[in-house]
Amino acid sequence: MGASRNAFSRMTVLALETSCDDTAAAVVAEGRILSNIVSSQLAHRDWGGVVPEVASRAHQRYVVPVVRNALEAANVEVRAIDAVACTYGPGLVGSLLVGLSFAKGMAVALGVPFVGVNHLDGHLYSPYAGKAEPPFPFLALVVSGGHTELLVVEGWNSRYRLGRTRDDAAGEAFDKVAKILGFPYPGGPAIETAARSGTRNYRAFPRADLEGYDYSFSGIKTSVLYHLNSVEPAERPDYLERHGPDLAASFQAAMIQMILSPLRRAIIDTGIENVAISGGVSANAELRLSASEVCRALGADLAIAPAELRTDNAAMIGLVAYYLIQTGQTSPLSLNVDPSAQLVQQGQIGQDAKTG
């Protein structure tokens, strides 16, 4: 085992990620990121959201150049690749299929192992990229466009869920409210930019704070919509011109409080001192600032991924694949896409699963 582990630890992994609207490829060698290329599909801006059919067609067009760019940027020849990894889910079925089929084909052509990776595992571990081992146990808050989940991660193969959103994901709420306020897609960055010149006390949007560690973001979205509908239609453009930034700042402040409240409770209740926040919404600087204040006040260590690993990327997939390969967990070529893959399996949900 020692010898093969050494051989594996020199592995160079090509990773692909095509679960949504970004075509991404990366090269990871010896657990280090050599390249990380993301091609974002700007066509979706015209539609105000991701159009699945447009996304999968674009992946087909971009996958080859993006992989080529990743190899070139890493200065790695294709024949030096020791394994090919790819996201198998969750995500859009048509988008996932493009990456997964391409990755399997490449693994077969090169005669190297193929590794399927759960996209959410990629996010979950991204704050600890570059570290030999995550500091288990840690509290993981994954806040992306499709997921909002709070977990206790005890080891690579041991975790349980404390809570998750009962309706919209946090990023989804940012995107939907941005659309209501007339900001471009994706909404999160647009709201963050607008909020910088706005007043967060302009409007007190309702902040759902459920018992336990669950989240709910659909109420605030409806509340922003009702507020805007209360303005005469003819006056709305002018109102948004004047108060769009105030509404963005007020919404963002409420979102951040709702995102961090269950996390604060979890730190106190579990006594766990390491916290990792990941996913696209962790790109929000105000969220990162508030999270670091919460953690500092409670004596917890906060880890957030570097900018290039916060939103969707393939390096985070390569890093998880690297761990999987080291522990012999490569995938059969029969592995299929799983559009609704989860972070935790049944029986790993809540404290009962841990004690029961």
Q: Which residues bind ligand KG4 (CB under 6 A)?
A: 20, 144-146, 171-172, 174-175, 186-189, 192, 279-281, 283-284, 311-312
**Choosing among Zn ion, ligand KG4, none, which partner's interface includes residue 171 (Cβ < 5 to 8 Å by kind)?**
ligand KG4
Q: β-pairing, 158-164 with 148-155?
A: antiparallel
- The smaller minimum CB distance to Zn ion, of residues 20 and 302, is found at 20
- With binding defined as CB under 5 A, does residue 282 bind Zn ion? no
Number of Cα atoms under 13 Å in the Cβ half of residue 299: 4
Total chain residues near Zn ion (CB under 5 A):
2
**Choosing among ligand KG4, Zn ion, none, which partner's interface includes residue 186 (Cβ < 5 to 8 Å by kind)?**
ligand KG4
- The smaller minimum CB distance to ligand KG4, of residues 97 and 259, is found at 259
**Least separation in angstroms between CB 309 and ligand KG4:** 10
**Least separation in angstroms between CB 356 and ligand KG4:** 31
Q: Which residue from 312, 313, 314, 341 is in contact with Zn ion, where contact means CB under 5 A? A: 312
Q: Are 343 and 151 in contact (CB under 8 A)?
A: yes
**At which residue do the structure tokens 């994954």 appear?**
142
Q: Which one of 37-45, 86-94, 307-315, 317-325 is the stretch in contact with Zn ion (CB under 5 A)?
A: 307-315
**Least separation in angstroms between CB 123 and Zn ion:** 5
Got the DSSP string for 287-332?
A: HHHHHHHHHHHHTPEEEE--GGGTSS-SHHHHHHHHHHHHTT--B-
Helix (H, G, I), strand (E, B) or coil at 87: strand
Burial class (CB in 10 A: 0-12, 13-18, 19+), 268: exposed
Phi, psi for residue 297 in degrees, rounded to 5: -60, -30
Helix (H, G, I), strand (E, B) or coil at 343: coil
- With binding defined as CB under 5 A, does residue 126 bind Zn ion? no
Q: Are 251 and 220 in contact (CB under 8 A)?
A: yes
**Choosing among ligand KG4, Zn ion, none, which partner's interface includes residue 188 (Cβ < 5 to 8 Å by kind)?**
ligand KG4
Q: How far apart are CA 140 and CA 136, in angstroms?
A: 11
**Choosing among ligand KG4, Zn ion, none, which partner's interface includes residue 192 (Cβ < 5 to 8 Å by kind)?**
ligand KG4
**Choosing among Zn ion, ligand KG4, none, which partner's interface includes residue 116 (Cβ < 5 to 8 Å by kind)?**
none
**Least separation in angstroms between CB 265 and Zn ion:** 25
Kindly provide the residue ranges of all beta strands, DSSP E only, lying in 41-168, ordered along the sequence. 83-89, 114-118, 138-143, 148-155, 158-164
**Choosing among Zn ion, ligand KG4, none, which partner's interface includes residue 94 (Cβ < 5 to 8 Å by kind)?**
none
**Least separation in angstroms between CB 187 and ligand KG4:** 5
Q: Are 211 and 166 in contact (CB under 8 A)?
A: no
**Choosing among Zn ion, ligand KG4, none, which partner's interface includes residue 284 (Cβ < 5 to 8 Å by kind)?**
ligand KG4
> Which residues of this protein are in contact with Zn ion, per CB under 5 A?
144, 312
